[in-house]
Amino acid sequence: MSPGHLIPMVDLAKLLAQHGVIVSIISTPLNTIRFKSGIDSSIKSGLQIRVHELKFPAVQVGLPEGCENMDSLPSRDSIRDFFLAASMLQKPFEELFSDLKPSPCCIISGKNMAWTVDSARKFRVPRIFFDGMGCFSATCTQKLQSSKVHENVSKFESFVVPGLPHRIELTKAQLPENLNPGSPDLVDVRNKMVAAESISDGIIVNTFEELELEYVKEFKKIKSGKVWCIGPVSACNKSESEKAARGKNVSLEQNQCIKWLDLQEPNSVVYASLGSICGLTCSQLVELGLGLEASNRPFLWVLRGGEKSKKFEERIQGRGFLIKGWSPQILVLSHPSVGAFLTHCGWNSTLEGCCSGLPIITCPLFAEQFINEKLITQVLGTGVSVGMEEKSGLVMKREGVKNAIETIFDEGVEGEDRRRKAKEIAKMAKRALEEGGSSYINIETLIHDIMQQSLSSVEASS
């Protein structure tokens, strides 16, 4: 239950329903509010989607009332309590599951809900794991877990990830926490997730095969074939209203940002957004803002915590637009005035950037984001890195931001090549979910496979 998992899983529910199956979304009250308007319009259009709510036991574990999502936690120290509360949903979930009619033939859950493996075994249905990463980062992670090459280097020393089709260099400081543990209090939580993933009945990945074909093949080898690439799931939102409502309801300010974009020149604006759970320090925010200002380009910047600087806002008036809160991202990315996407390289944003046909400015912060950056800049060739310095932690420099923006808008051969590749990828993404496309076929195959498993289970028990 974090935006990066909740949003694509709701999209996945809509996609499956578009293929004619009945889908039940089981959520908690405040999380339901986030996606309800988008789901309601899908239900009105005839999709068989049902939404059920379980009360989230926040207060029982010492969290504030209404703390139902990772982006509403009071501090990082609350993460363990949040996972404890989530695990307490198992009993009410199973009570609800047993009453659902028709009886469900599959459970799809994210890695944070490890207990759903036990529930699936109890009800004798397959549990499919929804992977929030792409196949490239998942393959890199698996190669490092098996080779352990990263364990014998210092924090900022680079090493090559073994056994990949491309030469990918990383440092220990750039690795996700499961490969570079820095939180001993969460070791048992992570171990449960890893164990649950390893015994799932298959993995759904929000990607499309043409985007990272060599790594889809590698990942399927690692996972013995039970991998379904069914993305980009965000493409299930066709209308402007669906795109605007995705993730949260649209506010007046978000409407204003679209009106502001309407006034800008085509392909001129830098859209800067560093995720729903932004890991930037105050000094990094300052450097990013000053870099955007120094670029002399129009920019739309999403500030999560509502940070303010009156002088900065006065200086950028007319040329810059700040969204303090939630942004209707796929609506913004598809706007004709947007010419580049500056992102933290979370997988949802990476994929949405690819699907928009935009060149990407990479600014990774944590988790597998540094690995996704390598996919964008080295494998796909559609992006440029801001170049975070690592000598004493991640340091962002305004010059790096300014230079990356100038490079991404360069009108020379390299700039044109990046834009061409980005547009080609967007076309492939669109084709993937159309009838006969790779993701369309994979969704049909997934549904058929689940039905076969369900039939075998019924025959075995009769």
CA distance 191 to 178: 9
Look at residue 150 and tell me if it is in a domain.
no
Look at residue 215 and tell me if it is in a domain.
yes
Clarify whether residues 229 and 89 are in a common domain.
Answer: yes
Query: Looking at 145-149, 252-256, 319-323, 343-347, which range is the least confident one?
Result: 252-256
Clarify whether residues 116 and 202 are in a common domain.
Answer: yes
Is residue 247 scored above 80 in pLDDT?
A: no
Please state the φ and ψ torsions of residue 360, each to the nearest 5 degrees.
-120, 135
**Residue 154, Cβ neighbours under 10 Å: how many?**
8
Clarify whether residues 299 and 192 are in a common domain.
Answer: no
Clarify whether residues 180 and 300 are in a common domain.
Answer: no
Clarify whether residues 454 and 418 are in a common domain.
Answer: no
Query: Looking at 173-187, 411-425, 439-453, which range is the least confident one?
Result: 173-187
pLDDT (average), residues 406-410: 97
Is residue 31 scored above 70 in pLDDT?
A: yes
Contact 325, 346 (CB under 8 A): no
Is residue 254 scored above 60 in pLDDT?
A: no
Look at residue 343 and tell me if it is in a domain.
yes
Residues 267-282 as b or e (16 or more Cβ within 10 Å = b): ebbbbbbbbbbbebee
Q: Could you give the 3-state DSSP secondary structure of residue 207? A: coil
Q: Structure tokens of 184?
A: 């001993």
Domain residue limits at 224: 3-144+171-235+434-461
Percentage of the chain modeled with pLDDT above 90: 70
pLDDT (average), residues 427-442: 97
Q: Structure tokens of 441?
A: 């076929």
**Residue 384's closest CA among 399, 406, 367?**
406
| pLDDT at 363 (0 to 100) | 94
Q: Structure tokens of 315?
A: 């200086």
pLDDT tens sequence across 77-115: 899 999 999 999 999 999 999 999 999 999 999 888 999
Give the sign of the dihedral formed by CA 181, CA 167, CA 204, CA 331. positive
pLDDT tens sequence across 332-341: 999 999 999 9
Query: Looking at 327-331, 343-347, 423-427, which range is the least confident one?
Result: 327-331
Clarify whether residues 133 and 267 are in a common domain.
Answer: no
| pLDDT at 367 (0 to 100) | 86
**Residue 312, Cβ neighbours under 10 Å: how many?**
17
Clarify whether residues 204 and 246 are in a common domain.
Answer: no
Look at residue 21 and tell me if it is in a domain.
yes
What residue has token string 């930037």? 280
Contacts of residue 229, defined as CB under 8 A and 6 or more positions apart, other chains included, come to 135, 205, 207, 208, 209, 216, 438, 439, 442
Contact 202, 419 (CB under 8 A): no
Look at residue 120 and tell me if it is in a domain.
yes
Through-space distance between the first and last CA atoms of the chain, rounded to whole angstroms? 37
Look at residue 216 and tell me if it is in a domain.
yes
Q: What confidence tier does 143 reach under pLDDT thresholds 50, 70, 90?
A: very high
Look at residue 159 and tell me if it is in a domain.
no
| pLDDT at 366 (0 to 100) | 86
CA distance 104 to 450: 11
Look at residue 162 and tell me if it is in a domain.
no
CA distance 73 to 252: 26
Is residue 34 scored above 70 in pLDDT?
A: yes
Clarify whether residues 220 and 317 are in a common domain.
Answer: no
**Residue 67's closest CA among 79, 58, 77?**
58
Is residue 246 scored above 60 in pLDDT?
A: yes
Clarify whether residues 285 and 400 are in a common domain.
Answer: yes
Clarify whether residues 66 and 175 are in a common domain.
Answer: yes
CA distance 116 to 108: 9
Is residue 19 scored above 80 in pLDDT?
A: yes
Counting the structural domains of the chain, the total is 2
- CATH number, domain with residue 374: 3.40.50.2000
Give the sign of the dihedral formed by CA 223, CA 5, CA 372, CA 244. positive
| pLDDT at 75 (0 to 100) | 86
Clarify whether residues 335 and 353 are in a common domain.
Answer: yes
Clarify whether residues 438 and 342 are in a common domain.
Answer: no
Contact 383, 343 (CB under 8 A): no
Contact 442, 233 (CB under 8 A): no
Segments of 147-304 assigned E as strands: 158-160, 169-171, 203-205, 227-229, 269-273, 299-303
pLDDT (average), residues 382-406: 88
